[in-house]
Structure 1
């Protein structure tokens, strides 16, 4: 509540002003009344008013002299509202020139007074915030010097009030899928100052690109769960108002404020891992990842392609998560992980658009969605978004053909005979044991998987040879990288060599 001193020589005016409005409702309280200027000066030190309502004409010291005296002796001086009659307009004008915040004619109108109080409360609130900011800026500069190792340049007198048992640096990175406006950052920092600086719990500072809080701690404990929970809630409340997410890390506690640079450097080390951290708490340790394992990008890409081609959304999700874990374990950076996924999935979309005509109309949409993953600032959100894209693609492709697994597999072979198809890989994307899938395939088709694949390839090879293509071109086009191996397979299933077969076709076609 802001304190009010009413100064008027008329008792009815003084009492009337005390009751004309609900002062507390508007953020004020009448702390005292005074009968004239001298009485007001005597009561001023104890009353400490934020606002004075002063009659401009009083015996002895009038309102103008009272204002001039107070403004000359007190810093900061209170705000002033002037009371006057119709004949006192020149006095009122003089008061306004002395920076009075307004004047009211007697008898005072209730609505007019309420309007003045609303304006004055806003001015007083802004002034209080500016005062806090001024103090905060001085303390912030001291913190910045401490964190950058320039503590020797700070006089001991500037650290006189720094008497916590321990100190801890908490760094905060504001995050969003779109760029955060500078004004929003400033507002969040101001909210943090209201929470931490104003309560004496800590000092808020900026160290681009981070905000931070030098927390006062009750002890040196490495992981004070309660203190961190309270601090996290304060940060979350400030960010929530503006719809901004954040990652917070702690560099640990130190006993002396001049040693806070150690806590700051440790916090910077932890903040480098922010892509991997989840939200919901202040992080004090490096993230744990799985043991390092090999990541074969080409093999992963092939498996994702096959799983999507089969409409197997569960298989796609499992492959995406496995690939992400492998990338993390291998130490890939945030940008490298995103780029690897985008490149793999882009290649997959391109292959699907070629092999599945019904998918082409959606391929551009999926490609656009894919590039949006660069906006994700958390690893786990990135993986979930990729899985959602994969599931949507699988759903688009799952409706094609029969629902029976072997029919799907046969369809896949006839469309992808030129790929490096292996039963083990297909069993993985089908979520089957390879031996079981092989038996299921043999029971359904009467052929072993490799035999069936070879026959499909050779039949396609005959079509290409009929079109006049060269043997080495045909071999590559149907999936045989070794021409001699293609010769042996062709002879096995056709009974003659590819060259002889082509000559035979040519001879048959001659008149």
Structure 2
């Protein structure tokens, strides 16, 4: 029995329709009634009607508004019979434009109602038959692509000359919208199956199309992409094709190829159906021997020196390294977020004048996980770095300013593995030129100046009673013996003796 809902604000009409005919004799059953549109919507999910008989004029939401709302919310959508009086011509015209399934004038004529019911029952039966056949084909294809081709019914083979599987994944910036995916699938069925150009099937988490024609010609590929795009209703999506096969039994190979390509979807540029592995970003020639920690240090120094371009290079280098190692989408996002977050924290500590601004970028950094394309992710990261560089940039230029920048960088980062070459790159000068400039301005070579800064900080820590090995590590000397030698060279006594003498003089 097909369930019926009657919606009318007049109790006599509601009850009269219940008893005017023998509903079950015509294949229907009145499941529920509603006094207005809002009550009807509340009862909709429980009653699941296949036919709604709706008064066109009701207080609040009228019958046509209810019709539109139900069509947006319900799949499958029920059939509609509209009730109206003689004075409702404009309503009736709108109802016809909305393609309702029947129009009844009050008072209701019994024979007229029965004719409508017979026609609607026939239509529902045809839809059920078609849906059952479609489900059978879809189920057969799902078994085929999963490697269960044995025992497939003959009617599942459309008898085409070629077959090719295309997989589609609508992209979301949050949790997948199941209702949107369902709508997209229905639109794809309408587009491909009505034109007899393919059979649509579900292959979680993707939608699939088994195509009748090969996409070897650009025009064919463009047509398929356009059909998918229209079905996706302006929603961004990825699509991959597994290549043409000559026999239905080989469609599983096309499916597997499309699925393998889909695993790299994060690297796709979008705008077309992908038929080959995406080209990985290349590692710059001057960074092909760099490790991830070296590139992280380069990123930090670039930002501390307000060099946005160099920071972007470091980010691209890190991404290329991780991709070459086979990093997944989630591993890339986690890697970038973790590294840049650590860099921002370090900057916030060393640059108190910009601490609040740098820390404010953490929320923007956290949001990059929603990006659906690698290039867009990288662009967001580079944008964050550019904002940091803009805030930290010292106005002006010239040799004296560069030396001042070097001195500031050394004092802020003396515990790190600083190298003249890295600082020169961050500041945009050659290391030989900047080294001479630094020696001329300070009287010391770069390494000597760095040692003096470290030893001065070591003296301050020793005066606080810290252990020698702790001091060595915190000022940037991994080898304690080497620290001893450097300390004695610049202070004239051992770290232990200096700490003892400092304690006695207090």
Counterpart Cα distance in 1 of 2:371 and 2:445: 45
In structure 1, the partner of 2:239 is: 248
Which of 430, 434, 440 matches 2:437?
440
Residue of structure 2 equivalent to 1:207: 203
Identify if the C-alpha distance between structure 1 residues 420 and 364 changes in structure 2 by more than 3 Å, giving closer, same or farther.
Answer: same
1:295 offset after TM fit, Å? 6.0
Alignment match, 1:139: 137
For 1:103 and 1:446, locate their aligned partners in 2 and report how far apart those are by CA, in whole Å: 98
Pick the aligned partner of 2:220 from 227, 234, 241: 227
Is 2:174 aligned against 1:178?
A: yes
Instruction: Indicate if the aligned counterparts of 2:81 and 2:100 stay in contact, CA closer than 8 A.
Output: no
Cα distance in structure 2, aligned partners of 1:307 and 1:204: 51
CA drift of 1:313 comes to 0.9
Describe the superposition over 1:138-169 as per-residue Cα deviations: whole angstroms up to 9, x where unpaired: 4322322332333332332443xx24321110
Distance (Å, rounded) in 1 between the aligned partners of 2:397 and 2:455: 25
Pick closer, same or farther for the CA change 1:121–1:458 going to 2, 3 Å.
same
Is the 8 Å Cα contact of residues 423 and 449 (structure 1) preserved in structure 2?
yes
Alignment partner for residue 281 of structure 1, among 264, 272, 278?
Answer: 272
2:477 aligned counterpart, secondary structure? coil
Give a deviation string over 1:82-112, Cα, whole Å, max 9, x none.
xxxxxxxxxxxxxxxxx99467888x97436
The 8 Å contact of residues 202 and 214 in structure 1, kept in 2 or not, is answered as yes
Q: Distance in 2 between matches of 1:116 and 1:438?
A: 83
Q: Which residue of 1 aligns with 2:336?
A: 341
Seen in structure 2, the aligned counterparts of structure 1 residues 141 and 465 have a Cα distance that, compared at 3 Å, is: closer
Question: CA 1:134–1:484 in 2, change beyond 3 Å: closer, same or farther?
Answer: same
- Name the residue aligned to 2:185: 189
How do residues 87-486 of structure 1 correspond to structure 2 at under 5 angstroms? 101=81, 110-111=89-90, 113-118=92-97, 120-121=99-100, 136-159=134-157, 162-217=158-213, 223-241=216-234, 244-289=235-280, 296-399=291-394, 404-486=401-483
Asked if the contact 2:239–2:273 (Cα under 8 Å) also holds between the matched residues in 1, the reply is yes
Whole-angstrom distance in 2 between the partners of 1:291 and 1:104 = 69
Deviation of 1:393 after TM superposition, in Å, equals: 2.2
Residue 287 of structure 1 and its aligned partner are, at CA, apart by 2.0
* Structure 2 unaligned blocks of 5 or more: 1-20, 27-52, 54-78, 103-119
Inter-CA distance 103–229: structure 2 relative to 1 (3 Å threshold): closer
**What CA distance in whole angstroms lies between the structure 2 residues aligned with 1:376 and 1:191?**
26
Contact 2:136 2:156 in 1 (8 A): no
- Output the CA distance in 1 between the equivalents of 2:130 and 2:387: 52
Q: What is the rounded CA distance, in whole Å, between the counterparts of 1:129 and 1:447 in structure 2?
A: 88
Q: Structure 1 residues 401, 469: closer, same or farther in 2, change over 3 A?
A: farther
User: Structure 2-normalised TM-score?
Assistant: 0.72
Report deviation, 1:439. 2.3
For the 8 Å contact 2:308–2:385, the answer to whether it is kept is: yes
Superposed counterparts of 1:47-86, under 5 Å: none
- 2: distance between equivalents of 1:178 and 1:185? 14
Distance 1:204 1:100 in 2: 28
C-alpha distance in structure 2 between counterparts of 1:319 and 1:132, whole Å: 58
Q: Note the residue ranges of structure 1 that are not aligned, 5 or more in a row.
A: 1-63, 70-79, 81-98
Shift of 1:225: 2.0
Task: Please report the RMSD computed on the Cα atoms of aligned residues, expressed in angstroms.
Answer: 3.3
The alignment partner of 2:414 has SS state of coil
User: 1:203 deviation in Å?
Assistant: 1.2
User: Is the CA contact 2:80–2:101 (under 8 Å) kept in the aligned structure 1?
Assistant: no
Instruction: Give the C-alpha shift of residue 317 in structure 1.
Output: 0.6
TM-score by length of 1: 0.71
Larger radius of gyration: 1
The alpha carbon displacement at 1:260 in A equals: 1.1
More moved, 287-296 vs 317-326: 287-296
Shift of 1:505: 3.7
State the shift of 1:337 in Å. Answer: 2.0
In structure 1, C-alpha distance between the alignment counterparts of 2:80 and 2:316, rounded to whole Å: 68
Return 181-190 or 142-151, whichever deviates more: 142-151
Asked if the contact 2:163–2:247 (Cα under 8 Å) also holds between the matched residues in 1, the reply is yes
